[in-house]
């Protein structure tokens, strides 16, 4: 595995489709935060001090799931119905 080659490929992909690459990296960061946050909060349990952190973690997870399952299809349909398919 050549890290330089992988980064060069990522750079080329970013030049072609910057939105896709940024979204993919953002999703990777969100998944990492959810995983690390869960394992950091799990031993502490749900107490008055950790309740806001748990709620934030659940809200982040909910937003992460709603984006591809609700927002993207609605945006696609809106663009299709308004004829804004090719406008970027």
Quick: pLDDT tens for 9-38: 888 988 998 888 888 889 999 999 999 999
User: 63: closest CA among 41, 31, 85?
Assistant: 31
For the chain, give the percent of residues with pLDDT over 90. Answer: 45
Q: What is the mean pLDDT of residues 40-51?
A: 94
Per-residue confidence at 75, pLDDT binned at 50, 70, 90? confident
Length of the chain: 88
* pLDDT value of position 19: 86
User: H helices within 42-71, ranges in order?
Assistant: 51-66
pTM: 0.73
């Amino acid at each position: 595995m050549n890290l330089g080659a992988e980064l060069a490929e990522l750079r080329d992909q970013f030049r072609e489709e910057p939105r896709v690459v940024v979204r993919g990296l953002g999703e990777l960061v969100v998944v990492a935060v959810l995983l690390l946050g869960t394992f950091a909060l799990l031993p502490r349990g749900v107490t008055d001090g950790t309740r806001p952190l748990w709620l934030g973690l659940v809200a982040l997870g909910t937003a992460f799931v709603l984006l591809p399952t609700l927002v993207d299809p609605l945006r696609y349909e809106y663009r299709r119905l308004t004829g804004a398919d090719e406008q970027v």
